[in-house]
Amino acid sequence: MKKILSVICAAAVFTSSAITAMRTETPETVSAETSVNYAEALQKSLYFYECQQAGPLPAWNRVEWRGDSTVTDFITGGWYDAGDHVKFNLPMAYSAAMMAWGLYQYPDGIEECGEMTNYVNNLTFVMDYLAACDLGDEIVYQVGNGQEDHTWWGAVELYEYGQAENGNDYSAGRPYYTAKAGEGYSAVLGEMAAALAAGAAALDGRSDKTDEYISHAVNMFEMADTAKSDTDYNGSDASGFYRSSHFYDELFWAANWLYIATGEQTYLDKATSYIPNLGKELGSDELKYSWAHCWDDVQQGGMILYAQNTGTYTDRVKRHLDYLVNEVTRVDGAIVYIQNWGCLRYATTCGFLAAVACDTLSLGDTAAYEEFYKTQIDYALGDNPLGQSYVVGYGENYPKNPHHRTAHASWNNSVYEPEENRHILYGALVGGPNQDGTYEDDRNNYINNEVACDYNAGFTGLLCKMVDEYGGETDPSFPEPETRDAEFFVEAMLKQSSSSGVSLSLKFTNHTAWPARVVDNMSYRYYFDASEVISAGYSASDIVVRVDRDQATMYGQEYAAEISPITQYKDNIYYIEIKYPNGAAILPISEGRHQCETMLALVFPNYGNGWDASNDYSNTDLMDTIGAEEGVVTDKITVYNNGVLVYGIEPDGTKPDVSTPTEPDEYLKGDVNLNGNVELSDVVLLVKYTLAIKSLKSEQLDAADMTEDNKVNIFDVSALKGALTE
């Protein structure tokens, strides 16, 4: 399992240097100069990228509602683009390059606030994917078909099953697309080269893979530079989603990053050679200063790098900043309004470029630029007339329904059901307000509530700057466990009830979302009281059980339900158990599959009179459903996995065995997970904490402080292991 550390991992910690974590409280404000907590926002923005991870998830992934997904992709790993599940390498590489730039420019603040491990982990994850896309003589630039992907709305962990409902067989892997030498894919290959070079520069001294990243960046850049065309890319599936407007900006951007990463003059010379072909102002030979840095236009970011690398063209950078500060329409007199779709991604990215330029170039009086970048980020974090945070899970008033399939966790392929997202997509920057400052927290409103990797890219970079300048404190209890709704239950209805017996509709339901998944060997029990049968001189075994419908067989006999014999529970209480050995019979992927109906009839052998449905335990909530259009969910029909009760209440009051955390003042020393016991799982959790993989609450830190020195570190791990072996 992705989130279980092995004992080997735990043992390995003992050979590492001691890591000490002091207990701190999150302050209401992080400094006298600011009322927002940039460190917490950065912490959550990085978490958002973990929500986007594809393929087998790394052990350090902190998202409890995510699981392994699309594991048969030709190239596994990488990030899903937005609320969908395609891996579009153009915006992905752009996002990776921007994340790398934030680390490259502002490492001290990241280190100081304790997010360096998370930052490096997330950056390395996407770099490894981009590197793996390099096959030598061809390069993968997209995995998944955008048109097909958008036909299904559900959690990505069940992607193959959901797409199969639409006739797309992905059992052997999704479609993928490659660029070959000489073909026109300059923008996407140039952006991938830029990302890998920027990643190598940012991770220098923090990773042993930087030479590998540079090698792949060089190959990609050569292919992009040789072709100098986007013809083939813009004729591909990608063009319906991320069409490239030009490619010289990507070549310019990549050449500058390659120069930074390698120090080789040839790349700076290449960058210089591209300048005449860069974008110009309409009807002019002047280099373009308007618009904004984004996934499709990296000219302004490239110009800042070029000015850093050469000491020239600083005036062009300043001209762009003056345009942003003085000429662009503002929302509420604050954030720049470049475009209606995802306006905050532009605003925060503009802020990041302004910050980098102020910190690295000689621009003269920078007071207006400094006020500009702080205004952009503070507005996004809630300093606006609505008091609206536009970052999910940050602040008191934040978006609850971002446009995101897996966070929504629909069970029936519907953007409208359930009404509220089931998961908190922490750290996701939504599109933002309209030009008039209004905002709608509506999942189906793509303008205001879309999220994407590129939305968070410049936002994350600007947060690096703000943490570097203002500091801040991360949330030590983040992420808090989510409150889960029922994942398995039965929706039941009495179709008919008489003195000769009953007929029932029993719809077994899979609404799994932590994560969405296939679970084999699920079963449920319908309980009834056979007293009247026994009083009439019969035994319970004389009752006739008739199966009128087994919906599972619609999908093949391998999915068929198994109906148990009538089984005694206690005294005159008996049950019928319906079991699904193959969990794929019931999946939260569509209206037809999230429930599987079994229609049963229990017939009294006397065929005359005597059956009393009202005294049957499982009918407690069903007596009024005869003739109704829908059944009811009842906890009197109990659900099991491999024979273990997971939902409902048995007739004798037995409930699922759920560990209840002890009160903070009753904790046991060493009971890190606060479940009332000291066990190996506490060691695993403590190891995760010392490796900066998992945060702990204050009471958990108290329980973990085995040495009672007001610190929690590797020595407490050793003491806890010793306590378990005593």
Check pLDDT > 90 for residue 226. Answer: yes
Same domain, 599 and 718: no
Q: Read off the pLDDT band of 262 (50, 70, 90).
A: very high
3-state helix/strand/coil string of 539-600:
CHHHCEEEEEEEHHHHHCHHHCCEECCCEEEECCEEEEEEEECCHHHCCCCCCCCCEEEEEE
Q: Which of these three, 621, 647, 673, is where a domain ends? A: 647
Q: Give the pLDDT of residue 467.
A: 98
Q: Read off the pLDDT band of 608 (50, 70, 90).
A: low
Check pLDDT > 50 for residue 665. Answer: no
pLDDT in tens, 375-413: 999 999 999 999 999 999 999 999 999 999 999 999 999
81 is catalytic: no
699 is catalytic: no
pLDDT in tens, 299-316: 999 999 999 999 999 999
Instruction: Specify the range with the lowest mean pLDDT, choosing from 8-12, 113-117, 598-602.
Output: 8-12
Same domain, 698 and 550: no
What number is the average pLDDT over the span 441-448? 96
- Here the CATH number for the domain that contains residue 627 is 2.60.40.710
> CA-CA distance, 418 to 164, in Å (whole number)?
22
What number is the average pLDDT over the span 346-366? 98
Q: Give the pLDDT of residue 22.
A: 28
Same domain, 587 and 625: yes
pLDDT in tens, 160-205: 999 999 999 999 999 999 999 999 999 999 999 999 999 999 999 9
Same domain, 606 and 635: yes
- Out of 73, 81, 84, 149, pick the active-site residue: 84
Task: Establish if 390 belongs to a structural domain.
Answer: no
What number is the average pLDDT over the span 196-216? 98
Q: Which of these three, 592, 614, 647, is where a domain ends? A: 647
CB 386 within 8 A of CB 499: no
What number is the average pLDDT over the span 256-279? 98
Task: Establish if 534 belongs to a structural domain.
Answer: yes
| 61 against 664, higher pLDDT | 61
Task: Establish if 311 belongs to a structural domain.
Answer: no
Place of tokens 């491990």: 117
Q: Give the pLDDT of residue 26.
A: 34
Same domain, 518 and 636: yes
441 is catalytic: yes
Distances in whole angstroms, Cα of residue 587 to Cα of each of 148, 555, 595: 20, 12, 7
Number of domains observed in the structure of the chain: 2
pLDDT in tens, 6-59: 322 333 332 232 222 322 333 333 333 447 999 999 999 999 999 999 999 999
Same domain, 493 and 638: yes
Same domain, 591 and 691: no
What number is the average pLDDT over the span 449-475? 97
- Out of 40, 232, 249, 450, pick the active-site residue: 450
Check pLDDT > 60 for residue 620. Answer: yes
> What does DSSP say about strands 632-633 and 488-498: parallel, antiparallel, or unpaired?
antiparallel
DSSP state of 474: -
Q: Read off the pLDDT band of 666 (50, 70, 90).
A: low
Instruction: Specify the range with the lowest mean pLDDT, choosing from 37-41, 481-485, 679-683.
Output: 679-683
Q: Which of these three, 590, 618, 647, is where a domain ends? A: 647
Q: Give the pLDDT of residue 8.
A: 28
Instruction: Specify the range with the lowest mean pLDDT, choosing from 165-169, 431-435, 448-452.
Output: 165-169
Residue 479, preceding bond cis, omega within 30 degrees? yes
> What does DSSP say about strands 595-603 and 501-510: parallel, antiparallel, or unpaired?
antiparallel
423 is catalytic: no
- Out of 322, 332, 359, 441, pick the active-site residue: 441
Q: Strand, helix or coil at 47?
A: helix
pLDDT in tens, 532-576: 999 988 999 999 999 999 999 999 999 999 999 999 999 999 999
Check pLDDT > 50 for residue 224. Answer: yes
Same domain, 527 and 675: no
> CA-CA distance, 471 to 110, in Å (whole number)?
9
Same domain, 714 and 585: no
Q: Give the pLDDT of residue 672.
A: 84
Same domain, 519 and 629: yes
> CA-CA distance, 306 to 257, in Å (whole number)?
9
> CA-CA distance, 98 to 194, in Å (whole number)?
10
Q: Give the pLDDT of residue 27.
A: 33
- Here the CATH number for the domain that contains residue 677 is 1.10.1330.10
In the chain, % of residues over pLDDT 90: 83
For residue 322, give every residue at least 6 positions away whose Cβ sits within 8 Å of its Cβ, in sequence order, or none: none
Distances in whole angstroms, Cα of residue 489 to Cα of each of 265, 397, 485, 496: 66, 33, 11, 22
Task: Establish if 594 belongs to a structural domain.
Answer: yes
Q: Read off the pLDDT band of 686 (50, 70, 90).
A: confident
For the purposes of burial, counting CB atoms within 10 Å of the CB of 654, is it exposed (0-12), middle (13-18) or buried (19 or more)?
exposed
Q: Give the pLDDT of residue 683.
A: 77
Q: Give the pLDDT of residue 703.
A: 87
Q: Please state, rounded to an integer, the average pLDDT across all residues of the chain.
A: 91
Residue 418, preceding bond cis, omega within 30 degrees? yes
Instruction: Specify the range with the lowest mean pLDDT, choosing from 36-50, 270-284, 592-606, 676-690.
Output: 676-690
Q: Read off the pLDDT band of 282 (50, 70, 90).
A: very high
> CA-CA distance, 377 to 97, in Å (whole number)?
20
Same domain, 585 and 527: yes
- Out of 85, 293, 403, 408, pick the active-site residue: 403
What number is the average pLDDT over the span 136-159? 97
Q: Which domain holds residue 582?
A: 488-647
Same domain, 515 and 621: yes
pLDDT in tens, 230-249: 999 999 999 999 999 999 99
> CA-CA distance, 648 to 701, in Å (whole number)?
34
